[in-house]
Structure 1
């Protein structure tokens, strides 16, 4: 019997099955969808330079639409309610609570664009190993920039649900510039909407600060020429800003991950113009003056990117 088994083993060909490597783009696409489609609650840590904050997030997407509430747990009370792409921020100021209406842009864990195809021209993706984040297995995906006009990223996506568990922004020396990571997270069953309201302080007055933004206004007397490769304009508004005598135009450009804001405003008489470049952590600033207008470009991108966008502004 033993000889028969030995002969059978020797005669039988061994078939070695190699598992197909995971497609990193499919991992990222699942993560992008999960951030909007799933219902979850947790706490994540945001770190940029010396700035470290803990944020509690509750998110749901039911038949009524997508809703989220974020509460900053450190320092001055501050929270945010979002419905779809609209955001209202509640922040204490003296004996008041200021409510600011804005548009949502790349809020963790929804930092990835819903259309991952937009990233392929600017980044190369590769799969790494698996690490535990907030008690869950996270599949690592690296996004390496194809040029020097954007930073690199490292993501951890939940192997079961796809939800992004951690995100790192890295410079060209692979040093961390920004980090967002869940310290705890749980999936939720369908529930009511009792949680979707700010923590009201009845001893303070609530004031809504309207941005007075006028969307999709055509450029008046100026244009933006050749943009850095991969970037495109996604939004343009003109708003009245407290302390400014003239409206300020803001134009937002993105490559799907990195975002850059261009601000253009007429220089007021007696106002000292800003000229030059500076940085704070991962954020770079470029300032210039042309034809009586102040130009300011801000973004969590390399210095060359903000300088190229700022230099591309021309006046008729």
Structure 2
């Protein structure tokens, strides 16, 4: 049997790994453009913390390039949301308040494969079949313990996501999104703009940009940068609440800071599926402030971030 020098074998493995990563990066770029350019409708299942729900979606790109989406929950209460370019136009029931509090949602992640490859090992993980359609499977494996992994099943024809899994460090699925029916369209038929009469307009509270010396974090996980720092009135207390939004290119978390004005609240930590919330008291020269970290990050990471928040010079925005 012919033997091969170790350096040759290692070189071959590295070349295969590099080609695999390059394929994964190409598919991420295709995904980025597909959600901004292609119309479709379908039905998907959403699972979190052992709870399932079924939803209809209409996603349309109009002649002017605007992206409109209508989401309708098909089991239980018929919750409905209508969005244009990621901004909520109307919602039903309790979603009205939730959408108002959340403010302007973002349509899709601005995926930068080169940036993501610093914090995730990008892999072409093979092929699958979802909703009767052929898909390529991408794995985004975190390079540290401060973020979760992703498994994306992208439609081979359109590069749109047919299935996605959010996976923790133990390999457990924290969140599942999966189409059961998916129909791509050349052009939308206007269904994404046709909300029911129960879909109420959402009024987003006005925000103001905070000064640079408002708040800072002494520690955030590597790769996360400060994207915005704003202030708006709390719908519960009318107190001014500061919000610092951080992201690593695919994952986000928010830090909320609300003056307590003598109110009594206990420190708390909770997790629902992939979403954690950690709250703690922080003394300042103006009185106690409640610091709350919310995001799809590990609980220990959120706790460390909450402990690192200080009054003072804020980070430069990215």
**Aligning the two structures, in what range does the TM-score lie when normalised by the shorter sequence?**
0.7 to 0.9
Would the alpha carbon gap of residues 114 and 37 (structure 1) be closer, same or farther in structure 2, given more than 3 Å must change? farther
Identify the residue that residue 25 of structure 2 maps to in structure 1.
25
Q: Output the TM-score relative to the length of structure 1.
A: 0.82
Residue 118 (structure 1) shift: 2.8
Residue 50 (structure 1) shift: 2.7
Larger Rg: 1
**Relative to structure 2, which stretch is displaced further, 52-61 or 146-155?**
52-61
Give the alignment of 1:1-316 within 5 angstroms: 23-64=23-64, 65-92=66-93, 100-101=99-100, 102-105=103-106, 110=108, 112-193=109-190, 195-201=192-198, 208=201, 210-218=203-211, 221-269=214-262, 271-290=263-282, 291=284, 292-316=288-312
Instruction: Tell me the distance in 1 between the aligned counterparts of 2:42 and 2:32.
Output: 18
Render the CA deviation track for 1:62-100: whole Å, top value 9, x for unaligned: 32222111111122222111111312341226xx97694
Aligned residues: 287
**Structure having the larger proportion of residues in helix:** 2
Contact 2:111 2:250 (C-alpha < 8 Å) held by counterparts: no
Render the CA deviation track for 1:148-186: whole Å, top value 9, x for unaligned: 000111111111221111100111111110000111111
Contact 2:148 2:297 (C-alpha < 8 Å) held by counterparts: yes
Structure 1 vs Structure 2 CA RMSD: 2.5
Render the CA deviation track for 1:115-151: whole Å, top value 9, x for unaligned: 3333111100111121110010111111100000001
Extract unaligned runs of 5+ from structure 2.
Answer: 1-15, 313-318
Render the CA deviation track for 1:256-291: whole Å, top value 9, x for unaligned: 22211111010122x223324332322222211112
Instruction: Tell me the distance in 1 between the aligned counterparts of 2:74 and 2:32.
Output: 26
Residue 208 (structure 1) shift: 4.6
Would the alpha carbon gap of residues 236 and 140 (structure 1) be closer, same or farther in structure 2, given more than 3 Å must change? same
Instruction: Tell me the distance in 2 between the aligned counterparts of 1:104 and 1:245.
Output: 22
Identify the residue that residue 9 of structure 1 maps to in structure 2.
none
Would the alpha carbon gap of residues 138 and 211 (structure 1) be closer, same or farther in structure 2, given more than 3 Å must change? same
Would the alpha carbon gap of residues 147 and 99 (structure 1) be closer, same or farther in structure 2, given more than 3 Å must change? closer
Extract unaligned runs of 5+ from structure 1.
Answer: 1-17
Instruction: Tell me the distance in 1 between the aligned counterparts of 2:207 and 2:96.
Output: 24
Instruction: Tell me the distance in 1 between the aligned counterparts of 2:191 and 2:40.
Output: 15
